[in-house]
Structure 1
Amino acid sequence: MPQRKKTNKKDEQPVLDRSISYRTLAVAVEATGAPASLDEGTRSVEVVGATENPVPVWDWERWEMVPEVLLMDGCELPGTGQVPLLENHYRFSTSDVLGSYRGMKIEGGKLIGRAHFSEVEESQKPYQKVREGHLTDFSIGYRIHEATYIPAGEKQTVNGRTYQGPVKIATRWTPKELSITPIGADEEAKVRAAAAPGHINAKQEEEMDKKVREYLESRGLKKDASEEEAYRFLEKLEMRKEEPPAQPAGGGDDAAKAEAARLEGARAEQSRIIEIRSMCEQAGCPEEVDAFIKGNKPVEEARKAMFDKVTGKAQAATGDMGVRAPITHGKDEKEKFRAAAEDSLILRSGILRPGKTIEKPADGARDLMGFSLRELAREHLRLSRLPIHGNVLEMVGRALTTSDFPILLANVANKSLFEGWETEEETWQIWCGEGSVSDFKTHTSARASETDDLDEIREEDEYKHGSMTEGKEEYKVATYGKLFKLSRQTIINDDLNALVNIPFKHGEAAARKIGDIAYAVLTANSAMGDGVALFHSNHKNLGTSGVVSETTMAEGELLMGTQKDLNDKRRLNISPAFFIAPRALKGAAEVFFGSNQFAGDNKSATRTNPYAGTKYTRVYEARLDDDSATAWYLAARKGKTVTVFFLNGQKAPYLETKQGWNVDGVEYKVRIDAGAKAMDWKGLLKNAGA
């Protein structure tokens, strides 16, 4: 509903939190006018804060007035047992607090409690007016956590009761404050107390915008109607959601077109007024509203002026150092919508792997599952108070130029990317170590030999310095990535494949790339720091070719266990921990490791198999089949063999986004920075097989 223009200025006006709604009720009074429940001793009066009667309130999600029912069994009373008592919803200073609303309870379908007035000076005048019976009305502020909206023409049962739409049923809500107000408790007064957009100051005289007035007169408002009657007419019009009045007799098509043009112009003007008013109020310049509206200034001009005002104020206040905007806790409606939309798209896409789900989808997520991508774009524009008219291409393009909608899409793409990354089954993590580097330069890791054995020190003997030998291995990371796009046409066509499945597949591809890098260390057999290939007779880590058997396994364990340090003095006694082989060998290898005993020439079990069971962690990798279907490997514990390095420890793909230049839409870049290197050859052994 449009705001009334201000004709006299006050120093301060409360900015209403859009996540909090308001409704007004009156206290009972004696014949003398004094409150019937007044307790002079405690300076308190009993107040019915809320009932289950439907009350028209402003719905920020739908940008219209809707009847709202607060279910008392959904009321969650604050843990403190009280909420602040304010004046006219002013809540920006401790001096605004007149007292507290305490002893709240649900009784007979009502929220009842006592309003206690403090003895401080600010509370004296309001309390005195309550005592004398001049002030009888209170307005409760509450936050809705869960609600069900029933559209017009539909019926729905909520908590055992059937409701006829349009109506919003609050099934979970919390009282946040109680305010004493001068506004009457009749139905119309309740509507005006119900959080209409922007500022509310009941002390102001107000007048309706001329073009909005013309629009109402075209819908049947009398030309001599007062301002109050005009606003009541508008509120009823919003509630009824009537169709435009029938064409006057003889008007024909021309009359219909003229009527449609007039209505469209009124709607556009209403949208302009609302957006300008919102920008000025958020920028802290409400005094500029009338100048922009009366001067017929476009929204873009007002936006630029407010930006200049804000940046100028920041520089003046801090000497060009800038300032931080005040922080308001909690999510606004756009943030709630974005969270719900993200979860709805993930749920709708079906990309979550079996057994995984979103434990607690954001409020409204399941309701949005029926929305197409372009409907989500339109809803985002509506919540952002931006125009939603024009053809679909323009509307979607407008949504993509805002800051929030591309973030919504990027968050969904990012979640899909990570889902693909986590879903792809990789085996390198089983036996490889992990490390981190800070840049793309070549890094060096030193390998020190064992120290000399300690000498026996006899009487008068001198201590001697030992010697150590160092080797080194060099390694670095590289960047791997791809681009993909999300065009306006994709959104219009509701192509979830582009938004969800393509990032998902890029996540799988990123996971596969790390596996490629890790196993390439084994198959490429590159030179180590000493200039000799990883697997080489000089390194004593090549076994006699043969299938997995008692003989070849015993040789492998012996070669690894008898490796010496760099000084060629100390045996390192390394034990294999992993058996790594191509999938082609899985059948034969599992038979060998699964046999507890060996069979002799007479085919009867004669000897225990020392390699049976879980002595080795067995890894079968298809990438090895591409290199050799017979070769197999032994590896020592993690940290002794191959290490996979990531840039700055980022062990997952990274998604970047930017406004499309070559395409009308958004472009995404998936990248991951990684590398792998064998850090020592002594904990690795290769057998070419047979």
Structure 2
Amino acid sequence: MEQTIELPAFRRSAELSPNSIDPETRSVEVIWSTGARVRRAALFGEPHDEELSMAPEHVRLERLNAGAPFLKVHEAHDLDAVIGSVVPGSARIENGQGIARIRLSERNAVGDIWRDIEAGHIRAVSIGYQVHRFEISKPDKQRELWRAVDWTPFEISAVPVGADPAAGFRSNSEHHDCVLHRRDAPTSEGASPMTDRTETAAETAAQSNTTAAPEETSMTDDTTGAADTQTRAAEPKPKAKPTADPAPEDRSRSVDTDALVSEARAQERERVSTIHGLADKLQLERGFADDLIKRGVSIDEARRLILDQVAAKADETRTFPHVSIPLGGRDATVTRREAISNALLHRYSPTLFPLEDAAREYRGMTLMELARESLETAGASTRGFSRDEVATRALHSTSDFPEILAAVTNKTLRQAYEAYPRTFPLFCRQVLATDFKAMHRVQLGEAPQLLKVGESGEFKRGTLGESKESYRIETYGRVVAITRQVLINDDLDAFTRIPAMYGNSIAQLESDVVWDIVTSNPAMADGTALFHATHKNLAGSGAALGVDSVGLARAAMRKQTGLDKKTVLNVRPAFLIVPAALELKAEQLVAQNLVPAQSGNVVPQSIRTLSPIAEPRLDAASETAWYLAASPNQIDTIEYAYLEGQQGAYIETRNGFDVDGVEIKCRLDFGAKAIDWRGLYKNPGA
């Protein structure tokens, strides 16, 4: 059962984390919530327990991470009450705790509060939050548990005492809608949960005409419940109003209210019985009808939903002349085809392709035996056929044997393609091309600097410089033929190992295309080579790989400017690219666990953060040259593209015409181009 009510903002205690104080930034971390269970006096009905779910998907952190205010004792109507704010992006959920870093204001008036926090005198904080959805359950012989599964913390306050009951619900803040979802709502015999809800609504409406404003809600933590109870007991209680005999008008209103409640009960019983009756007649599940009742669906809407459910069940199974196949299920032919493919793949590589249960019956069969079974499953008799006739018929008839061979070839090729070590994707960016036309990549310049505008002055216009790089994808391919001789000789390697070698070849081709850009140093759109002194990404004199030379290269990248020749980009290198000959040297340079005996040989942490990439294709050009590359998330480097929908190797099959068998075509649509030289740096080496 679900119900929507209006609720005010809540308050709940939390605590500072004193050991996280940072005097320089005047900030400190707070544990703003652990979701602990607290007692609440409800806006209506009996008291209940409230629990905040600390699952990340249940807490909306947008307002905290946007820089929510840090207030003084929840004072939300005075600017002086804002004594700081949440550091944007610091709010998070860790191990079931809500954590955020608070930065206090530099105002003189806040200085005393900051000193008290440093000294440990102020340790308690409290959060303000809104609940959008409660899940309500009723454990056996316990109070109702209201568990917030969708809620928003929107402010954090410094308070003198945690869990101060006066800090909650006594302001005139606006209310907001909250959904109550009752999972274990008790019902009386013969009545539905909706009946209870209707009766409560009617009775509440009646009482609102004769009773005072709803009771203010308070909160106590388990650890401070006794003290809070004493505090409330000491508060002066409102004097009871003298009772008097109800006036005739009041008695008439009471009679009208009773009539409304009785009418609501009768209408609810009619709705429940009608929905159950329709569901029973149409042989629908009882749970479907109960769900409609709990959701408060009207009779007219229930009729429509019941008819939709009947139509959906009728479409679940369609009957054909010889077989009934449930929609969304697995066709027997497809299942058998995949089982045979798995048996052949397991025979090729047991470690890469574990044997599935459905494939066990095909495990010991030869290619000829599988071809014969495929023909017989398709309805063709193979009695008296020679091995050559079986092979020819299996490859050219309507059997599914060519599809089985193609599936095995495709999987072995893809597996080998993905297993080949490709190093370029780490510092290059992948895109998709929609066609084979030239793609133009615009290298935008930086936004123009803002200029001071005087009184009654005009805003001056600025322009963005740009540089355009163009490239297109190319098509590469070969054809693999599986002939009838392969079947007769039971030569499994012909369509497992050979396609695997093609998969390696395709992956190697991609690496060749990309690394050729680095070694050939092609010209960019401005007519200058990729690595050139004009681009400020080529060392003037070669230097061996070491701390000093890497430091100079890193400084050169940081000082790269935009196309306006003025804006400093501060490009930070992320990868150290070396030939195979320098792989060990690069790993020693960036090693995290090596401590030199002399302090002068210590490698700075900024260099240790570089990720080494060793590529043997670089050795053919130079065994001493090394490179730095930035992350493609910061700036463009080299871009590579596939044709959309055909990333990586693509397979097509057809019955052979030039060969007596099945032809399998391997195709790759691929292209690459250096887009920006500022994210790359080269040193020719010693």
- Alignment of 1:606 onto 2:585: no
Tell me what 2:560 maps to: 563
Q: Determine the structure 2 residue equivalent to 1:124.
A: none
Which residue is 1:515 aligned to? 511
Could you tell me which residue of structure 1 aligns to residue 387 of structure 2? Answer: 392
C-alpha distance in 2 between matches for 1:362 and 1:487: 30
Identify the residue that residue 617 of structure 1 maps to in structure 2.
611
What are structure 1's unaligned runs of at least 5 residues? 1-97, 101-175, 178-198, 200-280, 285-324
Aligned to 2:453: 457
What is the Cα deviation at residue 596 of structure 1?
7.7
Matched, 1:662 2:661: no
What corresponds to 1:376 in structure 2? Answer: 370
Q: 1:209-288 alignment to 2 at 5 Å?
A: none
- Cross-structure match for 2:522: 526
Q: Which whole-Å CA distance do the structure 2 matches of 1:328 and 1:453 have between them?
A: 62
Question: C-alpha separation between the residues in 2 aligned to 1:573 and 1:328?
Answer: 58
Aligned counterparts of 1:503 and 1:494: Cα–Cα separation in 2: 16
Q: Structure 2 vs 1, CA of residues 352 and 337 (structure 1 numbering), >3 Å: closer, same or farther?
A: same
Contact 2:576 2:586 in 1 (8 A): no
Structure 1 residue corresponding to 2:626, chosen from 632, 636, 649: 632
Alignment of 1:498 with 2:494, yes or no, is yes
Q: CA deviation at 1:625?
A: 1.1
Q: Deviations over 1:135-160 (max 9, x none)?
A: xxxxxxxxxxxxxxxxxxxxxxxxxx
Mapped pair 1:588 → 2:585: yes
1:493-547 deviation line (CA, Å, top 9, x unaligned)? 1111111111111111111111111111101111111111100111110013111
CA contact (8 A) 2:589 2:608 kept: no
Structure 1 partner of 2:336: 337
Matches within 5 A, 1:401-416: 401-403=396-398, 404-416=400-412
Distance 1:367 1:670 in 2: 31
Residue-by-residue CA offset, 1:552-600 (whole Å, 9 max, x unaligned): 111101111111111112111101110000010012222232388997x
CA contact under 8 A between 1:596 and 1:608: conserved in structure 2? no
**Equivalent residues of 2:478, 2:666 under 8 A apart:** yes
1:443 Cα deviation after fit: 1.3
Contact 1:346 1:352 in 2 (8 A): no
Aligned mate of 1:647, from 643, 646, 652:
643
| Letter paired with 1:586 | E
Could you list the per-position Cα deviations for residues 427-481 of structure 1 after superposition, in whole angstroms to 9, with x for gaps in the alignment? 1122211111111121111111112111122211111101221110001111111
- Are the equivalent residues in 1 in contact too, given 2:395–2:661 (CA < 8 A)? yes
Amino acid at match of 2:599: A
Give the aligned partner of residue 184 of structure 1.
none
Query: Where does the alignment leave 5 or more consecutive residues of structure 2 unmatched?
Result: 1-281, 285-315
State the 1:492 CA deviation. 1.2
Change (3 A) 1:352 1:613: farther
**Native 8 Å contact 1:480 1:672 kept in 2:** yes
Identity across the alignment (%): 36
TM-superposed deviation, 1:612: 6.9
CA distance in 1, matches of 2:388, 2:594: 73
Would the alpha carbon gap of residues 328 and 655 (structure 1) be closer, same or farther in structure 2, given more than 3 Å must change? same
Cα distance change on mapping 1:669 and 1:522 into 2, 3 Å: same
Conservation of the 8 A alpha-carbon contact between 2:484 and 2:661: yes
The residue identity in structure 1 corresponding to 2:362 is L
**Inter-CA distance 326–340: structure 2 relative to 1 (3 Å threshold):** closer
**Hey, what's the Cα distance between the residues in 2 that align with 1:629 and 1:428?**
18
Quote the residue 2:468 is aligned against.
Answer: 472
Please list the CA deviations of residues 179-233 of structure 1 after superposition, one character each: whole Å capped at 9, or x if unmatched.
xxxxxxxxxxxxxxxxxxxx9xxxxxxxxxxxxxxxxxxxxxxxxxxxxxxxxxx
Shift of 1:326: 9.6
Q: Distance in 2 between matches of 1:597 and 1:418?
A: 40
Q: CA deviation at 1:352?
A: 4.9
Contact conserved, 2:592 with 2:608, CA < 8 A, in 1?
A: no
Task: Check the 8 A contact 1:432/1:638 in 2, yes or no.
Answer: yes
Q: TM-score, normalised by structure 1?
A: 0.50
* Contact 1:477-1:676 at 8 Å conserved across structures: yes
Matched-pair contact (CA < 8 Å) for 2:416–2:503: yes
Q: Is 1:346 matched up with 2:345? A: yes
Counterpart secondary structure, 1:573: coil
Shift of 1:337: 2.0
Provide closer, same or farther for how the CA distance between residues 550 and 662 of structure 1 changes in structure 2, counting only shifts above 3 A. same
Aligned residues: 369
CA distance in 1, matches of 2:568, 2:664: 53
Q: Is the 8 A contact 1:542 1:686 kept in 2?
A: yes
- 1:224-274 Cα offsets, whole Å, 9 max, x none, are xxxxxxxxxxxxxxxxxxxxxxxxxxxxxxxxxxxxxxxxxxxxxxxxxxx
Name the aligned partner's letter for residue 475 of structure 2: T
| Cα distance between partner residues in 1 of 2:588 and 2:327 | 65
Q: CA RMSD in A?
A: 3.0
The answer (yes or no) to whether the contact 1:580–1:633 under 8 Å persists in 2 is yes
| Residue 453 to residue 612, structure 1, CA distance change in 2 (3 Å) | closer
Q: Compute the displacement of 1:650 (Å).
A: 2.6
**Change in 2 beyond 3 A, CA 1:471/1:657:** same
Q: Distance in 2 between matches of 1:576 and 1:649?
A: 32
Equivalent residue of 1:618, what SS? strand
Per-residue Cα deviation, 1:323-375 (whole angstroms, up to 9, x for no partner): xx99866444433321110110011111754xxx44x7251x12211001110
How much has 1:682 moved relative to structure 2? 0.4
Taking the aligned partners of 1:456 and 1:613, their CA distance within structure 2 comes to: 39
Q: 2: distance between equivalents of 1:352 and 1:528?
A: 47
Give 3-state SS (helix, strand or coil) of 1:411's partner: helix
Counterpart AA for 1:374: M
2-structure distance, mates of 1:330, 1:460: 73
Q: Does the alignment pair 1:488 with 2:478? A: no
The TM-score normalised by the length of structure 2 is 0.51
SS state at 1:655 partner: strand
- Letter aligned with residue 341 of structure 1: I
In 1, Cα distance between equivalents of 2:415 and 2:665: 17
Structure 1 segment 291-370 matched on structure 2, within 5 A: 330-350=329-349, 352-353=351-352, 357-358=353-354, 361=356, 363=358, 365-370=359-364
